[in-house]
Protein backbone atom coordinates (compact mmCIF):
# COMPACT_ATOMS: atom_id res chain seq x y z
CA UNK A 1 0.00 0.00 0.00
CA UNK A 2 1.27 3.48 -0.86
CA UNK A 3 2.70 5.60 1.93
CA UNK A 4 0.45 8.40 0.72
CA UNK A 5 -2.83 6.54 0.56
CA UNK A 6 -4.08 8.75 3.40
CA UNK A 7 -4.52 11.56 0.85
CA UNK A 8 -8.08 11.56 -0.46
CA UNK A 9 -7.45 12.97 -3.93
CA UNK A 10 -4.14 13.76 -5.52
CA UNK A 11 -3.95 17.32 -6.81
CA UNK A 12 -1.13 19.35 -8.36
CA UNK A 13 -0.84 21.15 -5.00
CA UNK A 14 -0.43 17.84 -3.13
CA UNK A 15 2.31 16.79 -5.54
CA UNK A 16 4.11 20.07 -4.89
CA UNK A 17 3.76 19.50 -1.12
CA UNK A 18 5.10 15.95 -1.51
CA UNK A 19 8.23 17.30 -3.19
CA UNK A 20 8.76 19.86 -0.39
CA UNK A 21 8.31 17.06 2.19
CA UNK A 22 10.76 14.78 0.34
CA UNK A 23 8.04 12.17 -0.30
CA UNK A 24 8.53 10.26 -3.57
CA UNK A 25 5.82 10.29 -6.25
CA UNK A 26 4.77 7.06 -8.01
CA UNK A 27 3.36 7.34 -11.53
CA UNK A 28 2.42 4.67 -14.10
CA UNK A 29 0.64 4.70 -17.43
CA UNK A 30 -2.83 3.26 -18.06
CA UNK A 31 -5.05 3.34 -21.11
CA UNK A 32 -8.24 1.48 -20.18
CA UNK A 33 -10.89 1.26 -17.45
CA UNK A 34 -10.07 -2.15 -15.97
CA UNK A 35 -6.33 -1.61 -15.55
CA UNK A 36 -6.83 1.95 -14.28
CA UNK A 37 -9.30 0.72 -11.64
CA UNK A 38 -6.76 -1.78 -10.25
CA UNK A 39 -3.96 0.79 -10.44
CA UNK A 40 -5.92 3.54 -8.69
CA UNK A 41 -7.05 1.20 -5.91
CA UNK A 42 -3.38 0.21 -5.40
CA UNK A 43 -2.58 3.78 -4.37
CA UNK A 44 -0.73 5.22 -7.38
CA UNK A 45 -0.29 9.02 -7.23
CA UNK A 46 -0.41 9.90 -10.93
CA UNK A 47 -1.86 7.92 -13.84
CA UNK A 48 -0.47 8.98 -17.19
CA UNK A 49 -2.62 8.28 -20.21
CA UNK A 50 0.53 8.23 -22.30
CA UNK A 51 0.76 8.44 -26.05
CA UNK A 52 2.72 5.20 -25.56
CA UNK A 53 -0.80 3.84 -26.16
CA UNK A 54 0.24 4.20 -29.79
CA UNK A 55 2.83 1.45 -29.16
CA UNK A 56 1.37 -0.83 -26.51
CA UNK A 57 -2.34 -0.58 -27.37
CA UNK A 58 -2.30 0.01 -31.13
CA UNK A 59 0.97 -1.68 -32.16
CA UNK A 60 2.51 1.31 -33.93
CA UNK A 61 6.29 1.57 -34.05
CA UNK A 62 6.29 5.16 -32.73
CA UNK A 63 4.00 7.47 -30.74
CA UNK A 64 3.41 9.72 -33.74
CA UNK A 65 0.31 8.12 -35.33
CA UNK A 66 -2.05 8.28 -32.32
CA UNK A 67 -4.79 10.88 -32.78
CA UNK A 68 -6.47 13.35 -30.43
CA UNK A 69 -9.76 11.40 -30.69
CA UNK A 70 -7.97 8.16 -29.76
CA UNK A 71 -6.22 9.80 -26.78
CA UNK A 72 -9.55 11.20 -25.60
CA UNK A 73 -11.11 7.72 -25.86
CA UNK A 74 -8.32 6.16 -23.75
CA UNK A 75 -8.34 9.04 -21.24
CA UNK A 76 -12.13 8.92 -20.76
CA UNK A 77 -11.91 5.17 -20.02
CA UNK A 78 -9.22 5.82 -17.39
CA UNK A 79 -10.99 8.78 -15.79
CA UNK A 80 -14.16 6.70 -15.27
CA UNK A 81 -12.10 4.22 -13.22
CA UNK A 82 -10.26 6.65 -10.98
CA UNK A 83 -11.21 7.92 -7.50
CA UNK A 84 -7.90 9.16 -6.16
CA UNK A 85 -5.03 9.54 -8.64
CA UNK A 86 -4.32 12.62 -10.72
CA UNK A 87 -4.97 11.71 -14.37
CA UNK A 88 -2.55 13.35 -16.80
CA UNK A 89 -3.20 13.00 -20.54
CA UNK A 90 -0.51 13.21 -23.21
CA UNK A 91 -1.18 15.73 -25.97
CA UNK A 92 -0.50 13.72 -29.13
CA UNK A 93 1.97 14.69 -31.85
CA UNK A 94 0.67 17.42 -34.16
CA UNK A 95 -1.89 18.88 -31.76
CA UNK A 96 0.22 21.60 -30.12
CA UNK A 97 3.55 22.14 -31.90
CA UNK A 98 3.91 25.45 -33.75
CA UNK A 99 0.37 26.73 -33.21
CA UNK A 100 -0.66 27.91 -29.75
CA UNK A 101 -4.30 28.46 -30.73
CA UNK A 102 -4.58 24.86 -31.96
CA UNK A 103 -2.73 23.75 -28.81
CA UNK A 104 -5.33 25.40 -26.58
CA UNK A 105 -8.19 23.91 -28.62
CA UNK A 106 -6.62 20.45 -28.33
CA UNK A 107 -6.10 20.78 -24.57
CA UNK A 108 -9.66 22.02 -24.07
CA UNK A 109 -11.01 19.02 -26.02
CA UNK A 110 -9.00 16.66 -23.79
CA UNK A 111 -10.25 18.29 -20.58
CA UNK A 112 -13.90 18.59 -21.73
CA UNK A 113 -14.34 15.27 -23.50
CA UNK A 114 -12.21 12.94 -21.32
CA UNK A 115 -12.48 14.56 -17.90
CA UNK A 116 -8.67 14.34 -17.47
CA UNK A 117 -7.07 16.55 -14.83
CA UNK A 118 -3.99 17.82 -16.69
CA UNK A 119 -2.12 17.51 -19.97
CA UNK A 120 1.50 16.59 -20.73
CA UNK A 121 3.54 18.15 -23.53
CA UNK A 122 6.98 17.29 -24.92
CA UNK A 123 9.54 20.07 -25.42
CA UNK A 124 10.99 23.27 -23.97
CA UNK A 125 11.47 26.75 -25.39
CA UNK A 126 10.05 25.81 -28.79
CA UNK A 127 6.59 25.10 -27.32
CA UNK A 128 6.62 27.88 -24.68
CA UNK A 129 3.86 29.87 -26.41
CA UNK A 130 1.54 26.85 -26.52
CA UNK A 131 2.20 26.04 -22.86
CA UNK A 132 1.50 29.64 -21.80
CA UNK A 133 -1.77 29.72 -23.72
CA UNK A 134 -2.96 26.42 -22.25
CA UNK A 135 -2.00 27.49 -18.72
CA UNK A 136 -3.89 30.76 -19.22
CA UNK A 137 -7.07 28.70 -19.63
CA UNK A 138 -6.53 27.13 -16.21
CA UNK A 139 -5.36 23.77 -17.54
CA UNK A 140 -2.44 22.27 -15.58
CA UNK A 141 0.52 21.27 -17.75
CA UNK A 142 3.20 18.64 -17.08
CA UNK A 143 6.43 19.13 -19.05
CA UNK A 144 8.57 16.39 -20.66
CA UNK A 145 12.26 16.81 -21.57
CA UNK A 146 15.20 14.56 -22.43
CA UNK A 147 14.21 11.73 -24.72
CA UNK A 148 10.96 13.02 -26.18
CA UNK A 149 9.59 10.17 -28.33
CA UNK A 150 7.50 12.50 -30.53
CA UNK A 151 10.84 13.82 -31.88
CA UNK A 152 12.25 10.37 -32.65
CA UNK A 153 12.82 11.19 -36.32
CA UNK A 154 14.91 14.22 -35.29
CA UNK A 155 16.99 12.16 -32.80
CA UNK A 156 17.16 9.07 -35.06
CA UNK A 157 17.61 6.78 -32.04
CA UNK A 158 16.14 6.02 -28.60
CA UNK A 159 19.55 6.22 -26.84
CA UNK A 160 20.31 8.33 -23.74
CA UNK A 161 19.92 12.09 -24.32
CA UNK A 162 21.89 15.08 -22.99
CA UNK A 163 25.19 13.26 -22.51
CA UNK A 164 26.96 16.10 -24.32
CA UNK A 165 27.44 19.38 -22.45
CA UNK A 166 25.60 21.52 -25.02
CA UNK A 167 22.43 19.39 -24.89
CA UNK A 168 22.66 19.15 -21.09
CA UNK A 169 22.87 22.96 -20.83
CA UNK A 170 19.81 23.37 -23.07
CA UNK A 171 17.91 20.85 -20.96
CA UNK A 172 18.73 22.73 -17.73
CA UNK A 173 17.65 26.01 -19.37
CA UNK A 174 14.43 24.48 -20.71
CA UNK A 175 13.59 22.94 -17.32
CA UNK A 176 13.98 26.33 -15.62
CA UNK A 177 11.87 27.99 -18.32
CA UNK A 178 9.08 25.41 -17.93
CA UNK A 179 9.01 26.03 -14.18
CA UNK A 180 8.86 29.80 -14.75
CA UNK A 181 6.02 29.38 -17.24
CA UNK A 182 4.07 27.50 -14.56
CA UNK A 183 4.12 23.78 -15.37
CA UNK A 184 3.23 21.79 -12.23
CA UNK A 185 5.69 18.92 -12.79
CA UNK A 186 8.29 17.73 -15.24
CA UNK A 187 9.10 14.31 -16.71
CA UNK A 188 12.75 13.65 -17.55
CA UNK A 189 13.25 10.67 -19.83
CA UNK A 190 16.47 8.71 -20.39
CA UNK A 191 19.14 11.21 -19.37
CA UNK A 192 22.21 10.78 -17.11
CA UNK A 193 21.26 10.36 -13.44
CA UNK A 194 23.60 13.16 -12.31
CA UNK A 195 22.01 15.64 -14.68
CA UNK A 196 18.48 14.63 -13.63
CA UNK A 197 19.41 15.05 -9.96
CA UNK A 198 20.83 18.50 -10.64
CA UNK A 199 17.61 19.55 -12.41
CA UNK A 200 15.44 18.17 -9.58
CA UNK A 201 17.53 20.01 -6.97
CA UNK A 202 17.26 23.29 -8.88
CA UNK A 203 13.48 23.20 -9.34
CA UNK A 204 10.75 23.54 -6.75
CA UNK A 205 8.23 21.58 -8.90
CA UNK A 206 8.32 17.75 -8.80
CA UNK A 207 10.58 16.05 -11.33
CA UNK A 208 9.50 12.54 -12.35
CA UNK A 209 12.09 10.31 -14.00
CA UNK A 210 12.02 7.41 -16.43
CA UNK A 211 15.54 6.16 -16.98
CA UNK A 212 16.79 9.23 -15.12
CA UNK A 213 18.10 7.65 -11.91
CA UNK A 214 17.11 7.88 -8.26
CA UNK A 215 17.93 11.52 -7.57
CA UNK A 216 14.57 12.83 -8.81
CA UNK A 217 11.23 13.28 -6.99
CA UNK A 218 9.38 10.32 -8.46
CA UNK A 219 9.37 7.58 -11.08
CA UNK A 220 7.20 6.62 -14.02
CA UNK A 221 7.11 3.44 -16.11
CA UNK A 222 4.87 2.16 -18.87
CA UNK A 223 2.44 -0.28 -17.23
CA UNK A 224 2.74 -3.01 -19.88
CA UNK A 225 6.54 -2.97 -19.56
CA UNK A 226 6.68 -3.14 -15.74
CA UNK A 227 4.08 -5.93 -15.72
CA UNK A 228 6.25 -7.95 -18.10
CA UNK A 229 3.66 -8.06 -20.89
CA UNK A 230 6.08 -6.67 -23.48
CA UNK A 231 8.89 -9.16 -24.10
CA UNK A 232 10.84 -7.36 -26.81
CA UNK A 233 11.62 -4.15 -24.86
CA UNK A 234 14.38 -4.38 -22.25
CA UNK A 235 16.11 -1.05 -21.61
CA UNK A 236 18.43 -0.93 -18.60
CA UNK A 237 16.06 1.31 -16.59
CA UNK A 238 13.12 -1.09 -16.82
CA UNK A 239 12.38 -3.21 -13.74
CA UNK A 240 9.77 -5.90 -14.35
CA UNK A 241 7.49 -6.40 -11.35
CA UNK A 242 5.66 -9.39 -12.84
CA UNK A 243 5.89 -11.81 -15.73
CA UNK A 244 2.36 -11.42 -17.03
CA UNK A 245 3.44 -12.55 -20.49
CA UNK A 246 4.11 -16.04 -19.14
CA UNK A 247 1.09 -16.07 -16.82
CA UNK A 248 -1.26 -14.96 -19.62
CA UNK A 249 0.23 -17.31 -22.22
CA UNK A 250 -0.20 -20.25 -19.84
CA UNK A 251 -3.81 -19.28 -19.10
CA UNK A 252 -4.63 -18.90 -22.82
CA UNK A 253 -3.03 -22.27 -23.62
CA UNK A 254 -4.92 -24.04 -20.82
CA UNK A 255 -8.22 -22.53 -22.03
CA UNK A 256 -7.57 -23.54 -25.64
CA UNK A 257 -6.68 -27.09 -24.59
CA UNK A 258 -9.74 -27.33 -22.31
CA UNK A 259 -12.09 -26.19 -25.10
CA UNK A 260 -10.60 -28.58 -27.62
CA UNK A 261 -10.59 -31.54 -25.21
CA UNK A 262 -14.18 -30.80 -24.01
CA UNK A 263 -12.89 -30.11 -20.45
CA UNK A 264 -14.59 -26.70 -20.56
CA UNK A 265 -17.40 -26.09 -19.78
CA UNK A 266 -18.20 -28.81 -17.24
CA UNK A 267 -21.60 -29.70 -15.67
CA UNK A 268 -21.42 -26.85 -13.12
CA UNK A 269 -20.50 -24.27 -15.72
CA UNK A 270 -23.71 -24.53 -17.72
CA UNK A 271 -27.46 -23.83 -17.27
Instruction: Mark 146-175 with x for binding to ligand KIV (rule: CB under 6 A) and - for no binding.
Output: ------------------------------
In 3D space, the residue among 203, 238, 204, 210 whose CA is nearest the CA of residue 224 turns out to be: 238
> Nearer Cβ to ligand KIV, position 4 or 224?
224
CA-closest candidate to residue 137, choices 188, 83, 96: 96
- Strand-pair category, 118-122 with 86-90: parallel
> How far is the C-alpha of 23 from the C-alpha of 28, rounded, in Å?
17
Residue 193, burial from CB neighbour count under 10 angstroms (0-12, 13-18, 19+): middle
d(CA 212, CA 161): 10
Phi and psi at 143, nearest 5°, equal: -85, 170
Distance between CA atoms of 209 and 145, rounded to whole angstroms? Answer: 10
Q: Which of residues 81, 86, 210, 229 is near ligand KIV by CB under 6 A? A: 210
Q: Which residue lies nearest ligand KIV, judged by its C-beta?
A: 50
**List 189, 250, 267, 269, catalytic entry:** 189
Give the nearest distance from C-beta 189 to ligand KIV in angstroms.
6
- Per-residue mark of binding to ligand KIV, 177-206 (x: CB under 6 A): ----------x-x-----------------
Binding residues among 16-55 for ligand KIV as defined by CB under 6 A: 29, 48, 50-52
**Among this protein's residues, is 189 annotated catalytic?**
yes
Q: Binding pattern to ligand KIV, positions 53-92, x when CB under 6 A? A: -------------------------------------x--
Choosing from 222, 226, 227, 229, the residue that interacts with ligand KIV (CB under 6 A) is 222
Nearer to ligand KIV, 178 or 187 (CB): 187
E strands within the chain?
25-29, 46-49, 86-90, 118-122, 141-146, 185-189, 207-210, 218-221
Q: Is 230 in the site for ligand KIV (CB under 6 A)?
A: no
Catalytic sites, residue numbers: 189
Q: Given the rule CB under 6 A, which residues bind ligand KIV?
A: 29, 48, 50-52, 90, 187, 189, 210, 220, 222
Amino acid sequence: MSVHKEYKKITTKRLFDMKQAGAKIAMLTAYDYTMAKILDASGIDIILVGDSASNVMAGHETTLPITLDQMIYHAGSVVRAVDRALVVVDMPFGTYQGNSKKALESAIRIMKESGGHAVKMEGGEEIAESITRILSAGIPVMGHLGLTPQSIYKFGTYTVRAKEEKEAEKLIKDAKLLEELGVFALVLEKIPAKLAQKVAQNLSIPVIGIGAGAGVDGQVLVMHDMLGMTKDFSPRFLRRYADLHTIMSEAFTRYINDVKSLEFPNEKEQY
